[in-house]
Structure 1
Amino acid sequence: MFRLGRLPGRFCRGCYTYGQQHAVGECVGCRRQVPVDDKYGYCRLCRARASWAIKASGKASVIEPYLRRMTCQQLFFANLQRPKNGGPRVGKAGRRVLKPPLPEPHRVITTSTQLTLFTVPRDFRRFDRELHADLANPWLVRARQAARALGEARGWSRWITSDVNRALVIVLSGFREGEPIRYSELFPALRVRGLPVVRTAEVLDRLGLFVDDRAPAVDRWLEQKRDGMAPGIHRAVEAWVRTLLDGGPRSEPRSRHTAWAYLGEIQPVLLEWSGRYDHLREVTRQDIIAARDAATGKQRESRIVALRSLFRQAKKNGQIFRNPTIRIRVPRQADGVIQALDQADVDQVITTATTTPDLRLIIALAAVHAARPKTIRTMLLDDVDIGNRRITVGGHVRPLDDLTRRALLDWLDYRRSRWPTTANPHLLIPQKTAVELGPAGKLWTTRATRNLTATLERLRVDRQLEEALTHGADPLHLALVFGIDEKTAIRYADSARALLGEAAEQASQ
């Protein structure tokens, strides 16, 4: 039996731990008086150092040749007795090929950089061309080249090109890379000088230098409409309106006018509920009925439709547990008989249409082809096929009559002589959109019949009613000729039958 007590100068730590004994003598390698092994005559540190050398070499070998290299005393620090090997592992662990470490990227610091503490908006209104103009700025040179190319593609006049170049000199003379130009900085400086803001922003956007920091108009409108609502109702209404405008996973986006009409119709009801409830889930069926009965006529139907859309979306999002608008119906209002226009009103429109070729074409499209005002201003040049005498109105191909054909030829001749280099693909263009790609404005399109009884919409309705009166009030014929919905065609046919019956009664008397 070995005693585990301490025997100074006779045994090492391994002897006490494992019951092994080593003779004390002079180590062959480090020449110290320490316990050494009987086989080679080396101490524990020299043998450990030789073992590490074998592992570092990556080759399985005997320990004796490496022991002969140990000729000095071995020193080590605490907890660092096992240094990392530079070579691969030996034994079973060495079978796996290790990936070499990725080299660190070579970092080269060319210039010092200053961190941004806060952003100060630039004021281009203080620009003085004599003091601040830098025509050699590389960004200004690139922007002027881009403006020249864009102007040639859009058909800009030399005055527009000159104004855009002046605006670019103001904005880019002191420009440095990494500083985007915001709309809030661009608009005041250019507007006060009468320079084009939109076209300048388009050039800057092509170079990636423009940032539009304007808040969307729909966000401001939505915030005004929701002001005063309870938090729970506020969140549900916002999610509902966003889904109407942008669409959802299983719903198509609706028109902005639809969202505006829906929210405008039920806003008073939501404000009244906010005074009593904190969330839409507290609204009951009696509240829906009371809101319905508070309105009359067409407004009752519009209010129920909007409320049904709101609660259906809230139920789909899990904001309410049940939909209180289910099985609440409103009797559909009977549509009145559509009346035809008087001949005096039509003659007044014809007199107005003889002034300019664009007005003649607009009136012809509305009075002959029953085109809506939006359809008229969004028609493209490709929708007109004069050679085959065809015209596409609202996606529906129709034959081109002689009156519309003469109006088209007159307008195309005027357009070619007035804006020979325009790239706008729309059929009808004013001076503003001749240098752009968008459609004409609504006010420009409807200016001919603005203060008249026979507006463009009334002319369209009168044309369809006339077709129904002429061909015996056949809904199928109306749907094929004008490409309208079957319900709309049935309504025109019913009005035509009523008018024909009334005319027959008057004739019999």
Structure 2
Amino acid sequence: MHPDVSECERCRRCRPLKQGKCRFCTLLLRETEVDVSGIALDGGDQLWFGRELALRKSDRYLSGTGAQGRFKAKERRGRAASRAMRPISPHLVDPEQLELFPTPPRDWGRLNPENEFALTPAAKVLLRDFSDYLRDLGVEPRVGGSASLRTLRVLTAQLGAEAPIREGDVKAIATLGDHYQGRRVVCFLRQRGILKPEPMRDAELIRARRVAASLPTPFAEAVDLWIDVLLGQGTRSNPALTSGTIYSYVQNAHPTLKSWAESGITDLREITKKDVEAAIMDLPSVRRHSVHPPLRSLFRALRRERKIFRDPARSVSLPVAVKLPTPLPSDGVRGILSKVEDVRSQFIVALVAVHALVHDDLPALLLEDLDRSRGQLRVRRRGRLDHVVYLDELTSELATSWLRERYRRWPRTGNPHLLVSRVSAADEAGPRMSTEVTKTVFERVGISARKLRGDRIYDEARHTADPVHLMRLFGLGTTTAMKYITAAHPDKRPDPIRA
């Protein structure tokens, strides 16, 4: 008897076993695992011929590792048959059904990919159009676009393609894992006009409101009114600040307001100049200049809205140490363009190192602002006159090379900005490129954009003592231009008596 002969756990016959089953049972289970031929019986086995007509198959097909063979073909036919038998989703959205009340967010975390529903004819057409859309973007649907295609397939299988799809549902599915993506789906649905966008939410503004709500009621109401004023929504119109600045102001003023509330003060009208001075001077020196401007802004806003009688922080001032700019070492600046390889990074570095553009100006540059025939670049700055940059030969060549690279990589993008990334180029809304992209460029260079810009202005100031020249060349203000002139030419300090 064969040494490995044992009792089969299925047919109970003593045979050589593989994984607890004899050869006949293994073949039989493989034959009836995907029963596309209808040969499996309930409560018994199909009768088979023996000897020469018995089931025979080589071990490489039994192992299940081969990509070809009769069993693999049966598995493919079985999967196709199961997909054809899938029912239509009972959750299809009727486009003519009116909404009685706002529907709550759907819970996509309970989604089971194995229980997918069949696609409607409209959904199949939408998926084909989305595949063509991905190919136009230079993305192969089954490779780079498989995650986006899977997201749209789940949405259309569950909800259909007849009614608009909510942007919140797309983003919710995209958070389920790395095999789901939603950005290209949102852009495609928006382009087709079947996207229901979600309300714009400013995360930093929401955080500022949350910080204000954590204060006692009188203080919370005052801070909420302050935020409205900073947003330009007060009784008198004023330019609105960015949400990041507003959140920074509220966050820096919060500890001081909380300490006043804990000390027994119930209203900001009780605050005096001595209270403001004591609150600021008790802070470390590095924190004083970050708390002083928010407190001045808070009381100025409350005084303008007639919530307090006087501004206790109006006459409170702090000494400011003016730091003169210093040049960078020449060995650190030498060969700076060779530290980055791609054209976009070299163009970004040249705009800062040669023309001293501010780091925040780079994502806002528009395609229409670049005039290559005249060698000019228009820089739009909020609340100030536009600054015109006259490009040198190197920067002009890099700009031309970048436009060619941009058209080669994203020929169908409609983003109006000069600098785009992989994410912003795919968004049909035309957003700005993230500043993280430019930060990464200067991290590879090893020098921050602020220091590189300051070194360029300082180098120009060394060759001229005329502040008007710096103002015209780099779009500087009077104070900034004089600061660089003073640093480069200490003997040119203005006479304090005549000034």
- Aligned residue for 1:462, secondary structure, equals helix
CA contact (8 A) 1:147 1:161 kept: no
Shift of 1:286: 1.7
Distance 1:489 1:330 in 2: 23
Q: 1:233 aligned to 2:219?
A: yes
Q: 1:245 aligned to 2:231?
A: yes
Q: Which residue of the partner structure matches residue 495 of structure 1?
A: 487
Distance 1:401 1:387 in 2: 12
Query: What TM-score does the superposition give when structure 1 sets the normalisation length?
Result: 0.66
Distance 1:117 1:389 in 2: 53
Query: What TM-score does the superposition give when structure 2 sets the normalisation length?
Result: 0.67
Q: Which residue of the partner structure matches residue 272 of structure 1?
A: 259
Q: Which amino acid aligns with 2:257?
A: L
Q: Which residue of the partner structure matches residue 425 of structure 2?
A: 434
Shift of 1:351: 3.3
Q: Which runs of 5+ in 1 are unaligned?
A: 1-110, 502-509
Q: Which amino acid aligns with 2:215?
A: M
Q: 1:404 aligned to 2:395?
A: yes
Q: Which amino acid aligns with 1:477?
A: H
Q: 1:168 aligned to 2:152?
A: yes
Shift of 1:269: 0.6
Q: Which runs of 5+ in 2 are unaligned?
A: 1-95, 381-385, 494-499
Q: Which residue of 131, 134, 137 maps to 2:119?
A: 134
Q: Cα distance 1:329–1:142, how it changes in 2: closer, same or farther (>3 A)?
A: farther
- Aligned residue for 1:173, secondary structure, equals helix
Q: Which residue of 284, 305, 309 maps to 1:317?
A: 305
Q: Which residue of the partner structure matches residue 199 of structure 1?
A: 184
Shift of 1:145: 8.8
- Aligned residue for 2:388, secondary structure, equals strand
Distance 1:269 1:130 in 2: 56
Q: Which amino acid aligns with 1:481?
A: L
- Aligned residue for 1:278, secondary structure, equals coil
Q: Which residue of the partner structure matches residue 362 of structure 1?
A: 348
Q: Which residue of the partner structure matches residue 447 of structure 1?
A: 440
Q: Which amino acid aligns with 1:192?
A: L
Shift of 1:290: 0.7
Q: Cα distance 1:148–1:252, how it changes in 2: closer, same or farther (>3 A)?
A: farther
Q: Show CA shifts across 1:62-103 (max 9, x none).
A: xxxxxxxxxxxxxxxxxxxxxxxxxxxxxxxxxxxxxxxxxx
- Aligned residue for 1:192, secondary structure, equals coil
Q: Cα distance 1:157–1:320, how it changes in 2: closer, same or farther (>3 A)?
A: same
More off after superposition, 124-133 vs 447-456: 124-133
Q: Which amino acid aligns with 1:229?
A: L
Q: Which amino acid aligns with 2:240?
A: P
Q: Which residue of the partner structure matches residue 281 of structure 1?
A: 269
Q: Cα distance 1:118–1:296, how it changes in 2: closer, same or farther (>3 A)?
A: closer
Q: Cα distance 1:329–1:123, how it changes in 2: closer, same or farther (>3 A)?
A: closer
Q: Which residue of the partner structure matches residue 68 of structure 2?
A: none
- Aligned residue for 2:347, secondary structure, equals helix
Q: Which residue of the partner structure matches residue 121 of structure 1?
A: 106
- Aligned residue for 1:447, secondary structure, equals helix
Q: Which residue of the partner structure matches residue 480 of structure 1?
A: 472
Distance 1:492 1:486 in 2: 10
Distance 2:97 2:401 in 1: 66
Q: Cα distance 1:284–1:170, how it changes in 2: closer, same or farther (>3 A)?
A: same
Q: Which amino acid aligns with 1:450?
A: E
Q: Which residue of 395, 399, 408 maps to 1:417?
A: 408
What RMSD in Å do the two structures reach over aligned CA positions?
3.7
Alignment of 1:464-479 (within 5 A): 464-471=457-464, 473-479=465-471
Q: Which amino acid aligns with 2:222?
A: A
Q: Which residue of the partner structure matches residue 67 of structure 2?
A: none
Q: Which amino acid aligns with 1:270?
A: L
CA contact (8 A) 1:236 1:314 kept: yes
Q: Cα distance 1:130–1:229, how it changes in 2: closer, same or farther (>3 A)?
A: closer
Q: Which residue of the partner structure matches residue 346 of structure 1?
A: 333
Distance 2:138 2:479 in 1: 47
Q: Cα distance 1:420–1:114, how it changes in 2: closer, same or farther (>3 A)?
A: closer
Q: Cα distance 1:360–1:490, how it changes in 2: closer, same or farther (>3 A)?
A: same
CA contact (8 A) 2:119 2:160 kept: no
Q: 1:378 aligned to 2:370?
A: no
- Aligned residue for 2:378, secondary structure, equals strand
Q: Which residue of the partner structure matches residue 92 of structure 1?
A: none
Structure with the greater alpha carbon radius of gyration: 1
Percent identity between matched residues is: 25
